[in-house]
Amino acid sequence: MCGSGRPDQTVGSVVLRWSSHPRCVALARLELRKALADWGLSELEDAAVLIVSELLSNAGLHAKVTPEQIIETRYFRSSGALRIEVHDGSPERPRPRPADPEAPDGRGLLLVDALADAWGVAERGGPGKMVWASLSLQGMAGGGPERG
C-alpha cells in the first residue's frame, strides 16, 4: 500500500505517509490536487504537483528508506499560499547540481527552485530532514533556496 493517513482539509492541512515505491508519487499528486481544489488554490496546481513529484521522487530514490520507514508529505494552506513538505528519515541533504544535458535525471531541485517562491531543507523533530517549498498566489517567481 502506498499511502496512509487521513487528509483533514478543514484545518488547512493534509498529512499523508508513503512508501518509497514510485507509484506513490502519482497518488501524492492526486491528494494534493484534491486539497488545492477544496482550498480554492487550483491556480497553483501545475507548479505544486511538479514540486511534490520532484521532492517525493528524490526522497524515494535518495533517502534510502527501508520498507519499515515511511516518507511523509504535508500540505498546508494559508491566506493565498501553499507550503509543501516532504519528510524522510535520511540526514542527507539534497543539493542542486548543474544539469548534465546528457543525464536522464538531476534536474529536480532546479525545477523546484524555478517554480517555488522559496524552498529549503530543515531539521525535523526526529531522525532525518524535511524539504519544503512554498508557493503564493502573488507571482510565481523562483525565489531560490531559503534555509528554514
What backbone phi and psi angles, to 5 degrees, belong to 97?
-135, 155
pLDDT at 68: 62
The pTM (predicted TM-score) of the whole model is 0.83
Cell of 22: 514510485
pLDDT band at 148 (very low <50, low <70, confident <90, very high): very low
Confidence of residue 133 (pLDDT cuts 50, 70, 90): very high
Q: Taking Cα atoms as reference points, which of 94, 97, 92, 148 lies closest to residue 118?
A: 148
Classify 79 as helix, strand or coil: coil
Enumerate domains of the chain plus CATH numbers.
3-136 (3.30.565.10)
User: Does residue 24 surpass a pLDDT of 60?
Assistant: yes
CA 109/CA 11 separation, integer angstroms: 29
Query: Using 50, 70 and 90 to split pLDDT, how confident is the model at 125?
Result: confident
